[in-house]
């Protein structure tokens, strides 16, 4: 796409439980702006409670995009999300609006602001082939296969990183070119993406002890409104263990309980612990990957965000 000037959006990112959605709702309602969800799980219909998806009332009050846009069987990736987000940003800009990109999936934001090398689509059935092998021989076996066809990628991945190992094998099987080679083309892609989109980044932060407590309280609140029933519905779909939804934080621990691995009390405790660890990884990612972001609590960020979306 050719433009006289870059497209414009504003990103409000941060770890889970920091209060991004509440801040974004206040801003978007005040300015009649659209919120584009940057959450890899909110894409899927049916995953409402465990993803803290905007309620039906909130969706009536403020326009939301890239939530409830895919069936669970339709697996999305970062570049597919970025392509959809870019089209939405262009449409909003034509209406004189600057959308708010809100979420905690840093890789999706990176795909939007820096781009990914344009890897061809995987050949139909290839991913399912490697998933079947994983079920019988395990992920470590696939990691050895990856070492043979894409040693640089295999060296970067943990031997149990099922999702990314299968992705690497599927790309090589489909294209004949290692995924690490496609990724090496990133430099020029990044320059093109930065020319295409202006997107200042704000990162919402809370003191660590406050966030730890909020995560525990919120987890229990989600249990109180039916998260376990949502997990029962998910289990009934009989998705492969390699599906990203089955490995999502919180869902994975509650599914362990439903599969008889542990008690509900233990699953909740494990889920809270896993969520806290996930929040720590998110914070580290944003510290490393968005060094120029403006950081602070809600009060500190509100006016700066407002100025950006009203320009």
Intra-chain end-to-end CA distance of the chain, in Å: 23
Residues 71-76, mean pLDDT to the nearest whole number: 91
pLDDT at 174 over 80: yes
d(CA 278, CA 250): 10
Q: Residue 79: what pLDDT? A: 86
Is residue 11 within 8 A of residue 109, CB to CB? The reply is yes
**Per-residue model confidence (pLDDT) at position 194:** 59
Percent of the chain residues past pLDDT 70, beyond the cut? 95
Q: What mean pLDDT, rounded, does the chain reach? A: 92
* Residue 187 pLDDT class (50, 70, 90 cuts): low
Superfamily the domain 7-119+186-206+283-310 falls into: P-loop containing nucleotide triphosphate hydrolases (3.40.50.300)
CA 157 to chain centre: 19
Q: How far apart are CA 269 and CA 276, in angstroms?
A: 11
pLDDT at 1 over 70: no
Q: String of b and e for 32-48 (b: at least 16 CB within 10 Å)?
A: ebbbbbbbbbbbbeebb
**Residue 100: helix, strand or coil by DSSP?**
strand
> Which of 253, 282, 266 shows the shortest CA–CA distance to 15?
282
* Centroid of chain to Cα 35: 15
Across the range 22-34, mean pLDDT stands at: 94
Domain ranges of the chain: 7-119+186-206+283-310, 126-183, 210-280
Determine the pLDDT at residue 121: 79
Helices then strands, each counted (H, E), the chain: 15, 8
Question: Taking residues 106-111, what's their average pLDDT?
Answer: 94
Residues 282/14, Cβ–Cβ less than 8 Å: yes
With a cut of 60, say whether residue 82 has pLDDT above it.
yes
What integer is the mean pLDDT of 147-176?
Answer: 93
pLDDT of the residue at 183: 78
Model pLDDT, residue 46: 96
Residues 270-284 have a mean pLDDT of 97
Mean pLDDT over 62-75 rounds to: 94
> What's the CATH number for 210-280?
1.10.287.890
Nearest to 110, CA basis, from 223, 189, 33, 185: 189
The whole-number pLDDT of residue 186 equals: 60
The reported pTM is 0.79
DSSP secondary-structure letter at 66?
S
The residues that bridge with 100 in the sheet, in sequence order, are 10, 35
What are 212's two structure tokens? 């730890």
Backbone Cα Rg of the chain: 20
> Across residues 247-269, what is the average pLDDT?
97
Tell me what pLDDT residue 2 has. 45
Query: Residue 192's pLDDT band (boundaries 50, 70, 90)?
Result: low
Q: What is the mean pLDDT of residues 178-195?
A: 70
pLDDT given for residue 114 in this prediction = 87
Would you place residue 307 in the very low, low, confident or very high pLDDT band (cuts 50, 70, 90)? very high
Nearest-angstrom CA–CA distance, 163 and 165: 6
* CATH number among 3.40.50.300, 3.40.50.150, 1.10.20.140, 1.10.10.10, domain 126-183: 1.10.20.140
């Amino acid at each position: 796409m050719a433009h006289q000037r870059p497209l414009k959006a504003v990103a409000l990112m941060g770890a889970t439980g920091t209060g991004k959605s509440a801040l974004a709702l206040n801003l978007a309602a005040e300015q009649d702006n659209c919120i584009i969800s940057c959450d890899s799980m909110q894409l899927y219909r049916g995953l409402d409670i465990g993803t803290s998806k905007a309620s039906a009332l909130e969706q009536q009050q403020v326009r939301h995009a890239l939530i409830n846009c895919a069936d669970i069987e339709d697996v999305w990736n970062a570049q597919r999300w970025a392509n959809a987000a870019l089209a939405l940003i262009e449409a909003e800009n034509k209406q004189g609006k600057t959308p708010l990109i809100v979420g905690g999936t840093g890789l999706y934001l990176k795909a939007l602001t820096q781009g990914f090398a344009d890897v061809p689509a995987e050949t139909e059935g290839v991913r399912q082939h490697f998933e079947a092998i994983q079920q019988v021989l395990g992920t470590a076996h696939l990691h050895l296969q990856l070492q043979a066809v894409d040693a640089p990628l295999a060296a970067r991945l943990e031997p149990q990183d099922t999702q990314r190992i299968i992705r690497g094998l599927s790309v090589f099987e489909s294209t004949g070119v290692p995924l690490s080679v496609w990724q090496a083309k990133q430099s020029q892609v990044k320059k093109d993406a930065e020319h295409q989109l202006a997107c200042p980044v704000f990162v919402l932060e809370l003191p660590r002890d406050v966030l730890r407590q909020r995560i525990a309280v919120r987890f229990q609140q989600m249990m109180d409104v039916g998260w376990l029933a949502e997990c029962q519905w998910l289990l009934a779909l009989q998705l492969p263990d390699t599906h990203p939804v089955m490995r999502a934080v919180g869902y994975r621990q509650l599914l362990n309980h439903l599969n008889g691995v542990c008690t509900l009390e233990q699953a909740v405790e494990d889920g809270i612990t896993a969520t806290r660890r996930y929040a720590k990884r998110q914070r580290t990612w944003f510290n490393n990957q968005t060094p120029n972001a403006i950081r602070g609590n809600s009060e500190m960020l509100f006016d700066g965000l407002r100025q950006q979306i009203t320009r």
